[in-house]
Chain A
Amino acid sequence: MTVKECYEKLGGDYNEALQRLMNEALVKRFILKFLNDDSMKILTDAVSEGDFETAFRGVHTLKGVAANLAFTDLRKAASELTEQLRNDKTHIDEDLYARVIENYDRTISAIKEFSEQ
């Protein structure tokens, strides 16, 4: 599996990533690093505690990271949830949240598959 194929699998834009991160070695380095990124954990922990203020910060960060790595689908899902939480921090939209989780899982599994080959 190439880095490009990995991007196709997780719903990202490989060319954009290449442009942002300058070369394929760096793209590879950063997508592997993404496995350890803690913003998703901040989000899920905060949601389970009902702390939507922190959840907002977590998903906002996740959105930024996804954008920097050109993970298009994850970035879109995170972006929608960010806007929902920005406007109303008293509850979380379950559908939007589920979509973030779904895209995150897809991204992680694609990267894992790439890293384990």
Chain B
Amino acid sequence: MNEDGKNNSMISKIVEKFKGTKRKILVVEDNEMNREILETILENEYDIFFAENGRVGLDVLKKNYRDLSLILLDVFMPVMDGFIFLEKIQNDALLSSVPVIVTTGSTKTEDEIRCLKLGASDFINKPYNPEVVRGRVHSIIRLRESVTTLNDIERDELTGLYTMQSFYHHVAEVLTSDYEGNFDLSVLDLQGFKLVNSVFGEKKGDEVLAYIGKWYIEHDRKSIMARYGDKFFSLYPSEGRMGCEDRQKKLDELVSGAPVSNLKIKVGIYENVDRDAAPSVLCDRVILTALSIANNFTKTIAVYNEEIKAKFETDQTMEMTFEKALENKEFNVWYQPKISTITGEIEGAEALVRWIRDDGTVVAPADFIPLFEADGLISQIDEYVFEQVCALLKQRIDEGKPVIPVSINLSRNSIYQSTTVKKYSDTILNLGIPLDLVPLELTETAATENKDILDLVTKFKEVGFSIHMDDFGTGYSSLSCLTTLPFDAIKLDKSLVDTIGTKKGNTIIRHMIEIAHEMGMKVVAEGVEQEPQVDFLKMNSCDTIQGFYYSEPKRALFFEKMMDRLGEAG
């Protein structure tokens, strides 16, 4: 029999023994005498199982982590030593849920520290003192049982499905098994679930999640299932795959029986998953697949395909090259002029980022901005743009040249970072640039989603910044937002501006401008492209116009020339 065969039969014998009622301890130790001495000390109170090296120990642990109360681990062993054993289990939430006491004859503190860093709970020194051994074993088991049950780590309390940590563990087990068929992975994404929570309250939100969890358990018995936030994952053999129509029917049932109406769900499916990829990567792929139809109201189900794969890879490349691009100054700041409706002159600009690769190719903002917003890298771009704008203004101020306010965008990610206010304030105050020269534009979604936002805006205002509300009119709470947050200006979104010329559009915009003015806010119209729009906005006292009608975004050089001309005119 080869060694693996021997291992397997040994394991099955060990597993066979896992049936007693006493708590179970796994002793991983290569020396038979040491094993027996431990057994002698502990056998009255515990069921003892043995593994003669780390590798066998790991196999036993993987099959029995649910039943084991403790592992006693020797450090120096052939095949796989105690250090490697600890390393292998420390990143697996389920395996590392079983506490490990290291048995050591070693007097080296370094070794002990290394074991503790790798997650060991305690030490027992050789030679064994029976009282000490029993005492430590007892107290570690008791400690672990009082702090946590495996259930907490393994199961999501609300739905009874796996947690993400244990899902990864089980998916990896299945994918690396001998099973020859393929597997599919799906995600059900409750898009807009935050809205459910904010409209109906968190309790209702929990009810929805529990309902879906229950539905999953009833309908999807052959799968490995997990919930993570507002996403439900399921891995199942491809053989049992449902047709798209059947699946759609099931989903319709799910939605119609839900505790809230009009639940918005999107499903991403990855068929015949790549079994060599890490579970987390597979999950990323289905999430992205579901996201690809986020704004498509006619589709509920999307299947991972070459196109999505290509986008995924492009996204990854962009993320990986981001740091380098920032270093190489591939991000350029361009300036789109804002024109006063009263003077017809340029009175400000918005700084916009452009990504021009070293080889000259241009990455469209629509391709990289949503990505960097999603992964958080956008805040580094925000900061970079802010610094560039400050540098430009500072230089012109020092040279005595005319300057006008240049607004910059502050994304949601920047807002969530606690250091943002201090960072931005320090930069601009240290340079001695008047604060009203750099207004901050917050998007409406950024402004409405978080309760802390009021704090942040207030802090920025206290420092002296002016705050503009960007994309006004695109979200669902523009108006309520105006009542709570102290904005200095609103920027009418292009989608609103495009309604100029229709009766309703004209009415809304006319009144919006009135409301804003009455509340002491300026109004900037964005995305203005046609003369009738300009005429209408002027007639209705809109303060400022930004858009292709006057100018597209300009490189710094041209923008500087525009500012220079202001000096000549004055």
Contact = CB atoms under 8 A, between A and B. Distances in A.
Given A22-B40, A30-B36, A39-B31, A68 B108 contact: no
A65 B108 CA distance: 18
B76 A68 contact: no
A21 B37 contact: yes
Interface in B15-64: 30-34, 36-37, 40-41
Contacts, number: 64
Nearest to B38: A68
B32 A37 contact: yes
A53 to B, nearest CB: 10
Contacts of A38: 31-32
A61 interface: yes
A62 B30 CA distance: 11
Interface string B66-108: 0000000000111000000000000000000000000001101
B110 to A, nearest CB: 10
Chain B interface residue bracket vs A? 20 to 34
Contacts of A64: 31, 34, 105, 126-127
Contact of A60 (B105, B128, B130): B105
B34 A68 contact: yes
Contacts of B78: 54, 57
Most buried by A among B30, B31, B126: B31
Nearest to A83: B107
Interface string A54-86: 101100110111011110000100000010001
B40 A65 contact: no
Interface in A42-62: 54, 56-57, 60-61
B37 A67 contact: no
B33 A34 contact: yes
A89 interface: no
B136 to A, nearest CB: 15
Nearest to A34: B33
A42 to B, nearest CB: 8
A101 B59 CA distance: 36
B53 to A, nearest CB: 11
A22 B126 contact: no
Interface string A4-31: 0000000000000001111000100010
A26 B33 contact: no
A28 to B, nearest CB: 13
Contacts of A69: 33, 127
B399 to A, nearest CB: 67
A39 to B, nearest CB: 6
B129 interface: yes
A3 B382 CA distance: 80
Given A30-B36, A39-B31, A61-B34, A70 B76 contact: no
A86 B126 contact: no
B129 A65 contact: no
Contacts of A26: 40
Nearest to B133: A20
B34 A56 contact: no
Nearest to B32: A37
A22 B128 CA distance: 11
B2 to A, nearest CB: 22
B36 A33 contact: yes
Contacts of B37: 20-21, 30, 68
Contact of A86 (B30, B34, B108, B129): B108
Contacts of B105: 60, 63-64, 67, 82
B108 A67 contact: no
A15 to B, nearest CB: 13
A86 B104 CA distance: 14
A20 B129 contact: yes
Given A37-B31, A60-B106, 15 more contacts: A20-B37, A20-B129, A21-B37, A21-B40, A22-B130, A26-B40, A34-B33, A36-B32, A37-B33, A57-B76, A63-B105, A65-B31, A68-B33, A68-B128, A69-B33
7 contacts: A20-B130, A22-B40, A38-B31, A57-B76, A67-B105, A67-B126, A69-B127
Instruction: Give the top 8 A-B pairs by smallest Cβ distance, nearest first.
Output: A67-B127, A64-B105, A64-B126, A68-B127, A57-B76, A61-B31, A65-B33, A60-B76
